Chain A
Amino acid sequence: MDNNNNNKKKRILWIAAGLIALLLISIFVGRYPKPYWMPPATLLTDTLAQKLVVNLRLPRIIAALLLGASLASCGTTLQMIFRNPLVEPGFLGVSQGAAFGAAFSILYLSRSVLVIEISATIFALTGLILSYTLSRRIRYGGWILRLVLAGIAVSALFSAGVGILKYLADPLTELPDITYWMLGGLWAVTWKDLLYVLPLVLPGLAIAFLMRWRMNLLSLEDETSFSLGLAPNRERTLLLVAAVTATAAVTSISGIVGWVGLIIPHIARRLFGTSAQFSLPGAMLLGGIFTLISDDIARSLIAGEIPLGILTSLIGAFLFLYLMTREGA
Chain B
Amino acid sequence: MTGLNNSAISFRNLHFRYLETGPATLDDLTLEIPAGQVIAILGPNGAGKTTLLHLLLGYLKPEAGEILIKGNPIKSYHRSQMGKLVGLIPQKETHLLNFSVLDYVLLGRAPYLAPLQMPTRVDVEIAHQALVRLGISDLQDRPLPELSGGEQQIVLAARTLAQDPEVILMDEPTSHLDLSNQSTIIQVMSDLVSRGKTVVFTTHDPNIAATTADHILLMTRGQIHTFGETQQVLTEANLSAIYRTTIRVETIGGQLVVYMPKETA
A: residues with CB less than 8 A from B are 1-2, 4, 80, 83-85, 143, 210-211, 213-214, 216-217, 219-224, 226-231, 235, 269, 273-275, 277, 329
Contacts and interface: CB of A to CB of B under 8 A. Distances in A.
Contacts of B110: 214, 217, 228-230
Given A216-B107, A224-B88, A277 B118 contact: yes
A80 to B, nearest CB: 7
Given A80-B97, A211-B115, A275 B103 contact: yes
B93 A224 contact: yes
Contacts of A85: 97
Interface stretch (B11-19, B79-87, B240-248, B254-262): B79-87
Given A221-B93, A221-B94, A211 B116 contact: yes
Chain B binding surface, main DSSP class: mixed
A65 to B, nearest CB: 24
Contacts of B98: 269, 274, 329
Contact of A214 (B97, B100, B102, B115): B115
Given A1-B128, A1-B140, A211-B116, A227 B97 contact: no
A211 B141 CA distance: 23
A224 B90 contact: yes
B163 interface: yes
A69 to B, nearest CB: 19
Given A213-B119, A230-B110, A275-B100, 5 more contacts: A83-B95, A210-B116, A213-B113, A274-B98, A274-B143
Contacts of B113: 213
A180 to B, nearest CB: 38
Given A1-B102, A1-B124, A274-B100, A227 B86 contact: yes
Interface string B113-137: 1011111010010001000000000
Contact of A229 (B54, B80, B93, B100): B80
By CB atoms of chain B within 10 A, which of A224, A226, A269, A277 has the most? A224
Q: Give me the 6 closest cross-chain CB pairs, A-B, nearest first.
A: A229-B83, A229-B111, A227-B88, A83-B95, A228-B110, A229-B80
A193 B84 CA distance: 47
B97 A219 contact: yes
Contacts of B94: 221
A273 B142 CA distance: 11
B22 to A, nearest CB: 20
A230 B128 contact: no
A143 B141 CA distance: 27
